[in-house]
Amino acid sequence: MGSLIGGRFKVLGPLAEGELSTVYRARDTQTDQPIALKCLSPDLCRDTDALLRFERECRVLAKLRHPHLIGLVKMGWRGALPWLAMPLLPGQPLSEVLQPELPATASQTLAFVRQIGAALSFLHANALVHRDVKPSNVFVDAAGTLTLLDLGVAHDMQSLITRPGLRIGTVTTMAPEQIRGQPIDERTDEYAFAVVVYRMLTGRAPFRGEQQAVLRAHLTEPAPDAHAVNPAVPPGVARALRQAMAKQPSDRFPTLAALCERLELLLEAPATFPMPPPPPTSRRSR
């Protein structure tokens, strides 16, 4: 990208590319800190929805500070394109930490409940719904600190209805009211949060298959019993998750904080997030 962005950020190379933006690895020339520089894709500079979503993320990051929410260093415009600079977090997404078909430890699950539950409750206290809680939007560092990402999808609870035809969320974790385009509130995040906890405790998503089949299951099938899938899951935890994944928001816990409080009481483990050991290196026989 040539010259310094914002007069201080030197771009070192591409890091990741998403639907709406590209993230670059960069260095803050003022502090020498590693930076993740997120820039709206050039072909979306005239896309009103994309611009609004990107600007929303900038506003949320600028307004809200929490130990388990991604922070903001600076934001600005480069011509017609907005950009924002965030700390480049060490570690990896939770989706890469979780091993296919294997449950997470009780300690890892409790750390997720406490840390990401606190971040989401903070958003809810500020009248925001995240709308896309999923493992790939949670970052885990080597010390076991979890950080919630992608606040561009966060939605003001004072404007509760998603625009018709615009579905925000991920099929695996999407609440029934999101699928139907109905009003949403913090219980929508509660549903997705419970889906992630279920996956951590059982090693699998509650509903699996082709996209349309999963959407149908979210709408019509009762949430499966986590204890039946993994007998190590306490029955009380399984009941709490089934309540949090109820089809009707009114049947769920009144707040995500209430769900987290229940889970913390039932998950008896230290709230740490031990990272799995690296795979063994093969030794060549002599």
Residues annotated as catalytic are 132
Count the residues in the chain: 286
Contact between residue 201 and residue 109 where contact means Cβ atoms under 8 Å apart: yes
Cα dihedral 181, 185, 191, 192 in deg (nearest 10): 80
Contact between residue 130 and residue 190 where contact means Cβ atoms under 8 Å apart: no
Query: Is residue 280 classed as helix, strand or coil in its secondary structure?
Result: coil
Structural tokens at position 187: 């219980």
CA within 13 Å, CB half, 182: 12
- In the chain, the N- to C-terminal Cα span, in Å, equals 50
Residues facing residue 146 across a β-bridge: 140
d(CA 67, CA 70) in angstroms, rounded, equals: 8
d(CA 52, CA 41) in angstroms, rounded, equals: 13
